[in-house]
Amino acid sequence: MLEIRGLRRKFGEFVALEGLSFTVGRGQVFGFVGANGAGKTTTMRIVMGVERAESGEVWWQGKPADRAARRRFGYMPEERGLYPKMRVANQLTYLAQLHGVAAAGAAASTAHWLERLGLADRATSRLEQLSHGNQQRVQLAAALVCDPVLLVLDEPFAGLDPTGTDALSEVLLDLAKRGVPVLFSSHQLELVERLCDAVAIIDHGTLVASGTVEELRRRRGQLLWRVDVAADHRDWMAGLRGVTVERETDRGVVLRLGCGSDEQAVLDAARAAGPVSHFGAVSPTLAELYREAVSP
């Protein structure tokens, strides 16, 4: 389990992190969401130890993360980079060994991930000879080859085509199934929603929401209701307390139920206006939740 505890970090006058805390559980695929400059990259760099926090701590398995623990973390930094002239397999084996894997294990792990990511035939190519997409795959392999106990991936889906996205998703879910927590950041909120067990939404260096997507929805309350009704007039809901029209649809309206409203009263009013074919709460997407969470 990875615990982020009250991280603070300033760059000159710019406050990057202001007491950020969240927890990534065992086997969780954890989406890290926020605008550019919200502090995602800084957080991940602090987790990996390439950046220092002014205060706050990173805990791993119940104690502060030290060098030995971090050696087993797999990392894909925001700015990708490997040795352009080094051969792919040599490069991955070298990185695995730097992470403390013995020579034989490093070679085996390299072969495994090259095979798994469809790069087996490029093992002896220099990195620079590979296409951009394949270089991305090697970068992912570089994070995986040390047989990590935790994965920290900064925008791993950026620049991937649909096939690459699917392949990466599959790998991440696979690792999570084996108990490896996967922390990754992304701007593709549909993808995060589909993939993640839990998310953290951060804004200006602070956590604005975290938990499973379901929890976020529940916590917010059912705000939007879709009413499909063949009403004889459009303002049948006028006069209901706390109810506003969010938008009109082909078959009716989506209503926002605010403070002091009563959905049963809304239903009664709708039935009075005409036959109701659908009445139910609208689940907000993560994108909607995100927008609500970060809007001032």
Partner 1 sequence: MNRSFWLVARREIVERARSKAFLIGNLVVILIVVGIVVAQAMASGNEGPLRVGIVGVEAGELAAAADPVATSIGVVLQTETLPDRATAEAALRDGRVDVALVDGETVLSEGMLSRADEALFSAAAQRLALTKALDEAGISPGDQDEVLSPPPPRVETLTDDESGSAGFLVALVAATVLYGMLILYVQWVAQGVVEEKTSRVVEVLLATVRPSELLVGKVVGIGLLGLAQIAVTIAAGVIALQITGSLQVPAEGWTAIALVVAWFVPGYALYGMLSAVAGALVNRTEDLQVTTTPMVMLLVVGFFVAQFAAMDPLSPLARIGGFVPFWAPLVQPLRAAAGAIPAWEIVVSLVITLATIALLVPLAARLYAGGALRVDRRIGLREAWRTAADRRW
CB of 95 to partner 1, least distance (A): 7
Q: Which 3-state string (H, E, C) describes 140-171?
A: HHHHHCCCCCEEEECCCCCCCCHHHHHHHHHH
Distance CA 284, CA 292 (A): 10
CB nearer to partner 1: give 15 or 82.
82
DSSP 100-153: T--HHHHHHHHHHHHHHTT-GGGTTSBGGGS-HHHHHHHHHHHHHTT--SEEEE
Nearer Cβ to partner 1, position 66 or 214?
Answer: 66
Q: Among residues 82 and 208, whose Cβ is nearest to partner 1? A: 82
Residue 7 CB, shortest distance to partner 1, in Å, is: 13
Query: Where do we find the tokens 């969470």?
Result: 293
d(C-alpha 178, C-alpha 196), whole Å: 15
Element (H, E) at 73: strand 73-76
Question: Which of 32, 236 has the CB closer to partner 1?
Answer: 32
**Positions in the binding site for partner 1 (CB under 8 A):** 48-52, 67, 70-71, 73, 75, 77, 79-86, 94-95, 97-100, 142, 146
Q: For residues 86 and 282, which CB has a smaller minimum distance to partner 1 in the complex?
A: 86
Beta carbon of residue 78, minimum distance to partner 1 (angstroms, whole number): 9
Residue 57: which residues within 8 A CB-CB, separation 6 or more?
5, 6, 7, 64
Minimal distance, residue 83 CB to partner 1, in Å: 6
| Residue with Cβ nearer partner 1 (86 or 276) | 86
Taking alpha carbons only, the member of 62, 50, 87, 72 closest to residue 2 is 62
At its nearest, how many Å lie between partner 1 and the CB of residue 150? 12
In the complex, what is the shortest distance from the CB of residue 152 to partner 1, in angstroms, rounded to a whole number?
9
